[in-house]
Structures are given as C-alpha cells and as structure tokens.
A and B are shown apart, each in its own frame.
Chain A
Amino acid sequence: MTRSHTLLVGATGMLRGAAVELGRHSAHVTSIARTESSLAHLDRDLRGTGCAHHPVPLDYRAVDRFTDALVTATTECGPIDLAVGWFHASGRGASLALAEVLSRQGTDARYFRVLGSAAADPTASRDEDSPTIAELPDLHTRSIVLGFVVTGNRSRWLTDAEISDGVLRAIETDAAETVVGTVQPWSRRP
C-alpha cells in the first residue's frame, strides 16, 4: 500500500527502522525532530526508499511553531494519512495539537501515539489527553505501548529493532491499542 503523506515526530532514534520502512510505502514523509544531526542521519537513511523526505528541525515544545509546521506540511504535501508520534511528557501539548490538525483535515487520518511503559502503570493516573484526542472527529487514534521483555528470571527493555518491528506491526494490524513486548507482570518491569 502506498500512502500519500506520512508524518513522523521523534522518529530519528529508536524508531528509525520503522521510519525507513514507512518511507518505502509513502510518497511524502515529513519528519519533525529537535536534533538536526539525528534528522540528517534519518534523511540519509530515507534516501533510496522512494519517498520525498521533508525534514523539519523543530522543538515541538514550542507548540505554536509546531502547529505552524504541520499546517505548512499539509499545504505543501497534502493531507497526512498516517502520523506516528513519540512525545516526551513535556510535549503533551504538541501531541494534542497534532491530533487537532489531523482532525481538521477531515480525511480520517490515523494517528499512532507511541507511549512509554508508564502508560500501563497500574498505579498511575490516567493520561488526561487520551479522552480528548479520542473524541476528535475524522481521526482514528491508536496507542502503541512500549513494554519490556521477560526471559526466565530476568527482564530487559526492548531493543530498537523490537520497537520498530512492533510499531510497524501495530500499523499493519490497526488495533486500537498494541503492546510491544509485555507490561505484565508490572513487577517485572526492569
């Protein structure tokens, strides 16, 4: 399947493998990240995948500038079909802004929010943004929770390859929530 426009936020590191694979199936890829050197690295990796890559060096915590960049991207490359976003806790406002831009497109875009294992912490309070984002019209939101791996009496965090594979699998299956690795039992979290 070839998508018209894929948006990646925070995908220059552990999600780079997934970004490259998505590049193979997208006409345009816009990637937004804070670190220019990492963005340049991703740009090199995306060459030869067939997509037109549009790197945008930007700190998403500046939400207004982030929103402007999204609007510019959709103006220049068309509506975003698929968005994959990894935001730090300090970037929750940007995640919501992205969802609102996608919703305003009115094109039933899909937004995959990549979340740390803390999203599955049974003792933590609920993510306040989730209900708001889920209620936005013309937008399908999905959650991908990055868990851990338990082997015998040891546990460890996911490798970059496992994370990228898990994200690609989640996009393919299109489930509302996907856990990469496991978050059970929580007491075995590394």
Chain B
Amino acid sequence: MSTPAPRRGPEITTERLFIRPLRADDASAFHEYRSHPDVARIQGFVPGSVDEAREHLRGQGSIAFDTPGTWSQLAVRLRDSDRLVGDVGVRFPEEDARQVEIGFTIAPAEQGQGYGTEAVRGLLDHLFGTLGKHRVFASVDPENAPSIALLERVGLRREAHHRRSLWFKGEWVDDVIYAILRSEWTA
C-alpha cells in the first residue's frame, strides 16, 4: 500500500511576492541569510552548512501542511525575479490547531522594503480566509523592535509579556505575545 503524499503547502501570491513551501533547492540562499549573524542571533534554527540546510528542507518536504504538532516553513520569493528573500513559518499546535503561531525571517540585505509586512499579510489572509483559523499569534523578543513594528502594522495586538519564560541559546529570556483573531482580521 502506498503512503499518501503529504498535503502540499499553500501557494500564496501577493503584489510582489510568491510564497510556497521551502524546497531542498532553496538551501543555498536559505543558508546564506539564516547564518547571517543578525539572523542567527534571534532565530532558533541556524544551519551550519548548505548541506545541513538542504537536509532540514528535505525534512520539511515530508511534513503535511496544517498537521497538528508541526512547524511548516514557506519560502518568500520575489515575483519579478524568483529570488528567495526570506521565509515565514507556521506552527500548528498539537493541542488546538485552530490557533496557529507564525514566525518570519527576511534576509538582512532585503530588509526595509516591506517584504516582511507583505508576506505576513498574505499569510494571515491565507490562514484566516482559506484555512478558517480562529486565532494567529506570534512570540517575539521584546528587544526586537522591527519585528514588533511589523506585527503591529499588520494588526496584531500585544497580549502578554512573559518574564524570563523562554530558555533560548543558553539563558532565560523574556518573550512578548502578539495575536489577532479572525473576527479582527476580517473586520
């Protein structure tokens, strides 16, 4: 008996971006910006080499999108050149996948052009409009002002500030929770 193919991730088109599941052939560009010191400092997963990035992305390809208990990462590519400029992630919690966590990374060289905002808006549109999710939330370092500004720009509200609540890169750190409900997104 053959194993059913995993559900393919979404393909989201925004004005300047095309968002689709990350693939093994994204490994080189993915490794380049993910290993940049400014990104590695705030991201949990930092590939040590292009090969490691490729293995990670191969593993991603076997995860069905919208499966409780998983993270899915999507490539953010420019529509005009097909260049990878970052990625967005979605976590579907085991306990209740109607509420999902998002994350985002834009390559340092591509920041400041609104790609992150556009990508997250497109992702929210998909999560609420197509998948009918109830709530989307994000956990962010309170010192990460650009990410906080992005979340507020797209309409997420600050819901909590947890003190020393996260063990991250060898120390307890604060994290701030931002969230938005489907009723707020469609209002």
Contacts and interface: CB of A to CB of B under 8 A. Distances in A.
A190 B125 contact: yes
Contacts of B125: 190
B78 A146 contact: no
B80 A157 contact: no
Interface string A11-26: 1111100000000000
A117 B15 CA distance: 8
B79 interface: yes
B98 to A, nearest CB: 22
Interface residues of A, number: 25
A164 to B, nearest CB: 12
Contact of B81 (A13, A146, A156, A159): A13
A160 B80 CA distance: 9
Contact of B16 (A116, A148, A159): A116
A157 B15 contact: yes
A175 B147 CA distance: 42
B94 to A, nearest CB: 32
Contacts of A190: 14-15, 125
Given A146-B15, A157-B14, A190-B125, A14 B80 contact: yes
Interface of A: 10-15, 33-35, 37-38, 41, 86, 88-90, 116-117, 146, 148, 156-157, 159-160, 190
Given A89-B113, A90-B113, A190-B125, A38 B81 contact: yes
A159 B13 contact: yes
Nearest to B125: A190
B83 interface: yes
Interface of B: 13-16, 78-83, 113, 125
17 contacts: A10-B80, A11-B80, A13-B78, A14-B79, A15-B80, A34-B81, A35-B81, A37-B82, A38-B81, A41-B82, A86-B80, A89-B113, A117-B15, A157-B15, A159-B13, A160-B79, A190-B14
Given A89-B113, A90-B113, A190-B125, A157 B13 contact: yes
Given A10-B81, A14-B80, 10 more contacts: A10-B80, A12-B80, A13-B81, A34-B83, A35-B82, A37-B82, A88-B113, A156-B13, A190-B15, A190-B125
Contacts of B113: 88-90
Contacts of A148: 15
Contacts of A35: 81-83
Given A88-B113, A89-B113, A190-B125, A116 B80 contact: no
Question: Which has the most chain A C-beta neighbours within 10 Å: B78, B113, B125?
Answer: B78
Nearest to B13: A157
B82 A12 contact: yes
A171 B106 CA distance: 35
A126 to B, nearest CB: 19
Nearest to A37: B82
A38 B15 contact: no
Contacts of A86: 80
Contacts of B13: 156-157, 159
A159 B83 CA distance: 17
Nearest to B112: A90
B123 to A, nearest CB: 13
A33 B81 contact: yes
B39 to A, nearest CB: 20
